[in-house]
Every structure is written in structure tokens, then in C-alpha cells.
Amino acid sequence: MLRGLCLLLTLTFTPLARADVADLSFPGIDGGSLPLATFAGQPILVANTASLCGFTPQYAGLQHLWERYRDAGLMVIGVPTNDFGNQEPGTAAEIKEFCEVNFGIDFPLSAKVTTRGADRHPFFAAVERELGTGALPRWNFHKFLIDSDGELVAAWPSHVEPTGATITAAIEAALGS
């Protein structure tokens, strides 16, 4: 009985392999794939995005972070989704053009993915496993930080600005600044 309980506790509290997140890939907005392993050794800020959302102006903050920290090693990835209020109805080409024209976005964007339900992208399943259900997006522009070891370390809800002190401090810590 005690041996079984020890095994259960070990299985319950054993952290997931860091490779779980690092081995994931998003579909690229231009086709192909956007493997997170490409950015091994770099912190990655991932944000689920939408073009017709009240939080859409946060694209400017994400671009600012990208410009400010990319030379230090930060990667920013925008992940469009139409899961919340059908606020990302466009095609990949329309989403990309919207981001470039309106916000000067030049950080990588994925193709549209699903963040909820049985068909959700594996990244969001990893978020739930590693950070808990409370870390899952409840709306557009939820942000996630993966450290340079490939571990999910933080999540922020939509109302937290990308350039706010909390996110900036976490990025700087992940960069070793």
C-alpha cells in the first residue's frame, strides 16, 4: 500500500519534461511550420491574438517588446485565434496584412489555431498541464512566457498590458538582465 502511494505521489508531482513545450510547433501564417525548438535557449513570449478585439491595440505593445528585447534574445510569437467572440474571422493573408499595416508587426505569427476544447492546439494543453486551468486564455491577448530552458513559467490575462512592469520584469529575469 505504501509503495503504491509513493508511486502515485511520484507520478502526480513529477514535473513534465521541458521538451513537451520545446518540441511543439505552430503552423506558420505563411504556411510551413513554426517549431519552438528553433528558439531553443531563448525566452519566448506567446500571445493569442485577434484583429477585431478591444485588446487588439496590444499588438503595439508586443511589437515594442520584440523591438526592445530581440537583440537580447527574446522571441515574440502571435497566435491568432477565432475562439473568443469570433474576433479573428480573416484568412491567414488578411491577418498578416492587418498586423503589418496597422501595427508594423514583424515578429512571427502562426496561422489561426484553436485554444479551447478537444481540438485545441497542443500548446494550450501544455499550458493547462504545467500552469493549471487558471492559466488558460479566457479571451484574446492572453500572454505566456517560456523561459530559455523551454519551461512555461508565467501567464497573464488579457487586461495585463504587454509592456507593463510585471511582464517586463519577467522577460528581463528570463533574459538574465
What are the residue numbers of the active site?
53
> In angstroms, what CA-CA distances link 21 with 13, 84, 107, 153, 168?
18, 24, 20, 11, 22
Burial class (CB in 10 A: 0-12, 13-18, 19+), 139: middle
Give the type of residue at 145.
L
The end-to-end CA distance of the chain, in Å, is 49
Give me the DSSP letters along 26-85: EEBTTSSEEEGGGGTTS-EEEEEE-TTSTTTTHHHHHHHHHHHHGGGT-EEEEEE--TTT
Give the type of residue at 157.
P
